[in-house]
Chains A and B, each alone.
Chain A
Amino acid sequence: MHIPLWLWYSILTLLAWGVVGLLQKLPTNHVSAESSLIWLIVGFLVIEPFFYPGSAVVHYSRVNLTYAVLSGLLNALGAWALFAALKSGGKASIVAPLTALYPVVVIALVPLILNESVKPLQWVGVACALIAVILLSA
């Protein structure tokens, strides 16, 4: 079995986010969801100096730089919307699994936007992954 580089990186991502999933339950016992989100952003800022790109950043295209900043904005807005949904009476048992399904929409849009194709066996893997996401967040 050969594990490709992208899968190693993905495993590191899900290990880190898996722990985050556990830790996310804990701060809201002590502070409000909004305060949690602000402290989360403070956490981003703590590691920010390690990623300072220096003057190299001017060499990248303006479009891709905009995409990168917008991705951060949308991610944080999404988290805010999630907290707002929970605060306005949405049940966590419904809101959490529903929002966990955003990869389904991404996967549906990828062939249209990025013109990437997936082999039939890989589609089986994608289907298994999505079923797993649904079952794990149920």
Chain B
Amino acid sequence: MICVFCWVGWALLSKLGSEEIPPNTMQFLFTLGTIPVGLALLIARRGRLQKSRMGITYGVLNGILSGLGRLTLFAAYHTNANTTLITAATALYPMITVVLAITILREHFRPIQALGLVFAAIAFVIFSI
């Protein structure tokens, strides 16, 4: 519940801020907002940070890609298009994850996921009309 509450606030504030502030500045300020949480986590762990090379590589890569994805989200909000449509369209990112997990990680493809992809495709066709 806390997670959902926080992420709802994040989405709405992102839209409100993006009405005036351009995407690159939004991303810059967004990151400033994440620093206190990172510091609080470090303090909670008494400065102990696991330094596995693979863990660091994936973690930092996640941050870079996540930041670039957020930059284009801010750009979408900055176009003043409908927030509901942007939120619904960008929420569909698990469809890319599912396709990648099946093709790269060779995970099992479940029928329910196929149905999800069909609904996602219909949503995109409607959004582009």
Q: How far is the CA of A137 from the CA of B5 in the complex (A)?
A: 19
Task: From known contacts A1-B129, A18-B100, A135-B113, infer whether A74 and B6 are also in contact, taking CB-CB under 8 Å.
Answer: yes
On whether the beta carbons of A13 and B70 are closer than 8 Å, the reply is yes
Contacts of B29 in A (CB 8 A): 57, 65, 68-69, 72
On whether the beta carbons of A44 and B67 are closer than 8 Å, the reply is yes
Give the one of B44, B63, B104 with max A CB within 10 A: B63
Contacts of A107 in B (CB 8 A): 84, 87-88
How many residues of chain A have a CB within 8 Å of chain B?
Answer: 104
Contacts of B59 in A (CB 8 A): 27, 31, 35-36, 38-40, 42-43
* A11, closest chain B residue (CB): B89
Contacts of A103 in B (CB 8 A): 11, 87-88, 91
Task: Give which listed residue, A64, A106, A128, contacts B123 with CB less than 8 A.
Answer: A128
Q: How far is the CA of A108 from the CA of B32 in the complex (A)?
A: 28
On whether the beta carbons of B58 and A6 are closer than 8 Å, the reply is no
Interface size class of B (residues with CB under 8 A): 35 or more
Q: List residues of A (68-117) whose CB comes within 8 Å of B's CBs.
A: 68-82, 85, 98-103, 105-107, 109-111, 113-114, 116
Give the one of B60, B64, B79, B91 with max A CB within 10 A: B91
* B96, closest chain A residue (CB): A18
Chain A's nearest CB lies how many Å from the CB of B78?
9
Chain B contacts to A: CB under 8 angstroms: 2-17, 19-21, 24-38, 41-42, 44-45, 49-52, 54-73, 75-76, 79, 81-101, 104-105, 112-113, 115-120, 122-129
